[in-house]
Amino acid sequence: MPRATNSPASRARRKRTLLRAKGFRGFRSKLFRYAKDAVRKAMTYEYRDRKKRKGQFRRLWTQRINAACRNEDMTYSRFIEGLKAAGIEADRKILSDIAITDPAAFSAIVAQAKKALEAKAEKAKTA
């Protein structure tokens, strides 16, 4: 009985892998043997870094908010505490955007946070 290799499917699989490896350097984009490892590793990094990107953006937003708060003579942690005390529910992405695009509005938010912190301190003294 003749040996069957399922050539069309094998060729298609190899072609698909080489298409994914397009743009890689050297053998990694030309030869299937090296391209399959490069593609597998690239997909692993891609999956991992999609998760990582979210944390990186959160850290960036935090830094931007912190810089804007320091201009208003307040630390980031006290600002977040003040927001919670004031009942302002805005995520860090929005706060960062406001701090960059509309400093006057951000100053108003900081003022509300300061006021809420003072009220919280007064409440703690009386209790």
Tokens of 25: 């350097």
pLDDT band at 4 (very low <50, low <70, confident <90, very high): confident
Residue 68 is assigned to a structural domain of this protein: yes
Residue 110, burial from CB neighbour count under 10 angstroms (0-12, 13-18, 19+): buried
Residue 53 is assigned to a structural domain of this protein: yes
CATH code at position 47: 1.10.1900.20
The predicted structure's pLDDT at residue 21:
97
Residue 7 is assigned to a structural domain of this protein: no
Residue 6 is assigned to a structural domain of this protein: no
Alpha-carbon gap, residue 9 to 15, rounded angstroms: 10
Residue 2 is assigned to a structural domain of this protein: no
Tally of CB atoms within 10 A around 121: 11
The one-letter amino acid at 60: L
Residue 3 is assigned to a structural domain of this protein: no
- Bin 22: left if φ > 0, else alpha if -120 < ψ < 50, else beta: beta
How many structural domains does the chain have? 1
pLDDT (tens digit per residue) in 67-123: 999 999 999 999 999 999 999 999 999 999 999 999 999 999 999 999 999 999 998
Expressed as residue numbers, the domain containing 36 is: 13-126
pLDDT (tens digit per residue) in 13-52: 999 999 999 999 999 999 999 999 999 999 999 999 999 9
